[in-house]
Structure 1
Amino acid sequence: MPEAGHADAAASFDPLRPKLMRVAYRMLGSVADAEDVVQEAFIRWMGAGRSEVREPEAFLRRTVTRLCLDQLKSARRQRETYVGPWLPDPVVEEEEEEDVTLPLMLALERLSPLERAAFLLHDVFGLGFEEVAASIQRDPAACRQLAARARIHVREARPRFQVEKQRGIELAGAFFAASRSGDMKALGAMLAADVSVHADGGGKRPAAMQPIFGFDAVMKVHENLAALFRKDGSKLIRTGFVNGLPGFITLEADDELQTTALEIEDGKVVAIYVMRNPDKLRHLH
């Protein structure tokens, strides 16, 4: 009977797993933590009185949301001691994910856990405030206020100038070619005047300890990097969308993966996000 019960639980849970992963990852910004939360939700689902649950998806989404809220409390403490800039784990896809881009995920980091949950559940996943209230155990009026406060904080992080998908991929390929070959003229033509670079090495691999701002500073960094790329090599694995932004995966000289995501406005690169922390790249292998 236990094996039959396990199979029954899996049969009803597995179709919902991708949706639950989307909620958990957008709440936590970590693929590994999201997988742990979803697995814990499955364990709880196995022990639940499933015949009495009228809406399994709503039940499991609430379970995942509450587990994420608990996780965010410890995650916030960990971020305070993180070495260098923190970026969410890169999720690389063939198609653009338009609901939550990397800049928006960074903006979510500035919210309280409850604000983050209310905003994601209502504004991103389209749930009514009654369902949001049931998920985060607050009344609907409080959830409206939480979502409204969150909206003010993240409004600027919403993409204002959507780059056409194919054009975005072409720019990512051109950026890779120019940055690795040292074609500074071609690279400079792609960058906005106020361009910035944000590199997450997590103390595990060399990376700038602070974001780099401004055209001249970013160009200088890439001049220095190009000399290293010419000497040691940098292999393009694939282009795609990294957390909703055009970008690419590379294999670097130390035999570790790296992702680069480009935020583009008016045809110019306004921000470059580089993930070098091997712990956050493990799922891409």
Structure 2
Amino acid sequence: MKNVSLAILLAFAACSSYAQTHAIYTVPGGEPKTITVLGTDPEFHPLQNLHSKHQVYVKLKSMGNSRRYGKYINSLFTAMGYSGVNDRRFTESDVSKGEIPYGAVGMMGDGSHHYEYCMLNVEGDPYIPSWHVRAANGEDLYFMSRCGNAFYYPQAAKRRPEPAACPVTRVQVYARYKHPGCTYCEECGINDPEVTGSPFKETWITETVMVDEKNATGYTDTKKVYVDVDKKTFRKLKSEHYENEGYSGRERLGGGSCCRPWGW
């Protein structure tokens, strides 16, 4: 009995030691290589684009006896604390859907079964679909669905924060002309040169929405901008505005207040 227990302990110690020396668990210091595209150098082709954990489990088991993949898949499973991928302790329940978050840093395999320290920054993918395989020694691995590459990261990276909503501001631009003959009236209100009051006169030039987000809707603020112009420019801009609104000729001479006469 003692001999059996000793054999088990030695086997476990050997697996743990192998896990520490396998390249996928040898995480270096320094800056990781940034990966922005997946699928250019698949490691385990049979694991690409599978749809269920049963399919993944069957493919993993079959690769254990493969002339092409057996050596490499068995070495990974030995590093995970199993005797190999066909260890009876490794069951279908040890496979589950996983998601590797954007910005995850760890060791990733390639088509030559080399492992490199990488950061996954695949644009447009907040999470990378993958298959999570539970290890016997707690050092779980992921196999990415798109490329079949093995991936190990010791600390879960946080999802990239969503960008804050960009405020939407409507900007209205007015041309303004100081008319010395304008007197106080209810329409003008008090003398307020910052807005529309006497003795200033204004005409609308344009309106635009200042916004960075493509799909933003609604306004959070409205700003008015005034441009001081001479009388000639003011009349020209006002005439153009009326023409754009469909007024012409005598319609513009119909009258108005002392501050907004149609005949300007």
Which is helix-richer, 1 or 2?
1
Structure index of larger Rg:
2
Query: Scaled by the length of structure 2, what TM-score is found?
Result: 0.25
> Which has the higher relative contact order, 1 or 2, with Cα contacts under 8 A spaced 6 or more apart?
1
